[in-house]
Amino acid sequence: MDNPSKITEGGVVYSLGQFDGKEVIYEFDKVLIYLNAKGKLFFGKHFKIYQEDSQILFQLCNYFIRDKENCAKHNIDLDKGILLSGPVGCGKTSLMKLLRYIVPLQRPYEIIPSRNVTFSFNHLGYKTIEEFGNGKFYCFDDLGVEPLGRHYGKDCNVMGEVLLSRYELYNQTKGKIKTHATTNLNAEELEERYGNRVRSRMRELFNLIAFDSKTMDKRS
């Protein structure tokens, strides 16, 4: 890739900023134009970036482009992953699917619905927890609303166990292996779902970026 500040989608070249030969100087308004275009290609022509989400997007974009100065202003730790929370339908999953594309040279993460991890556990047992506790980059979607796992008559809070494994991995790799997640739940609900120990590990694993609880449902 000769110029990482330019990305071609559907035959159109989008500029994300200026490339000085060493690094890209991103321009937020250009990144938003690209995300809007990529979203329409990805999700259909009804997709759009909403003006009221610009503050959240600014934080997320700064995290993904690794803008140390702006991240420091928003208390975002570049070694941690992102926990993106907000009400149902506010666009969390869509944004996490799209933001991977503004940094094509960075290692991508796979988006996995949390309920699929539980279903896998129900079939395969603890092998599933090992599998998702491995060295891949993941974004666990809809964290906290997945059912309880059950394998050979034993109940298991599967995602709680996966998060503990991811935390160990995060420590072993000194933050090089990242975990992201989206959730509709607030901090108290997450603690109720996973317990205090997992919740305290989550604080160390994730930067919390939250939509306003009054954000409209964009799917209606």
Q: How many C-beta atoms lie closer than 10 Å to residue 219's C-beta?
A: 10
Q: Which domains does the chain have, with CATH numbers?
A: 79-210 (3.40.50.300)
Give every CB contact of residue 78 below 8 A, 6+ residues apart in sequence. 63, 66, 68, 71
Q: Measured on CA atoms in the order 157, 159, 160, 164, is the torsion positive or negative?
A: positive
Mean pLDDT for the chain overall: 92
Tell the burial category of 89 from Cβ atoms under 10 Å away from its Cβ (0-12, 13-18, 19+).
middle
Query: In angstroms, rounded to a whole number, what is the distance separating the alpha carbons of residues 42 and 197?
Result: 38
d(Cα 89, Cα 53) in Å, to the nearest integer?
Answer: 13
10 band by pLDDT with thresholds 50, 70 and 90: confident
Output the pTM of the full model. Answer: 0.93
At 13, is the secondary structure helix, strand, or coil? strand
What pLDDT, on a 0 to 100 scale, did the predictor assign at position 153? 83
pLDDT of 1 strictly over 70: no
Sorted by sequence, the CB contacts under 8 Å of residue 172 that are 6+ apart come out as none
**Quick check: 3 pLDDT over 90?**
no
**Which of the four pLDDT bands, split at 50, 70 and 90, describes residue 31?**
very high
- Checking if the pLDDT of 12 tops 70, the result is yes
Tell me the per-residue pLDDT of 100-159, one tens digit each, with 9 for 90 and over: 999 988 888 999 999 999 999 999 999 999 999 888 999 999 999 999 999 988 899 999
The Cα 157–Cα 138 span in angstroms is 18
Amino acid at 97: K
Residue 220 is predicted with a pLDDT of 59
- d(CA 71, CA 179) in angstroms, rounded, equals 18
Q: State the Cα–Cα distance between residues 84 and 183, nearest whole angstrom.
A: 6
pLDDT tens digits, one per residue of 187-207: 899 999 999 999 999 999 999
* pLDDT tens track for 47-82: 999 999 999 999 999 999 999 999 999 999 999 999
Q: Phi and psi dihedrals of 17, rounded to 5?
A: 155, -150
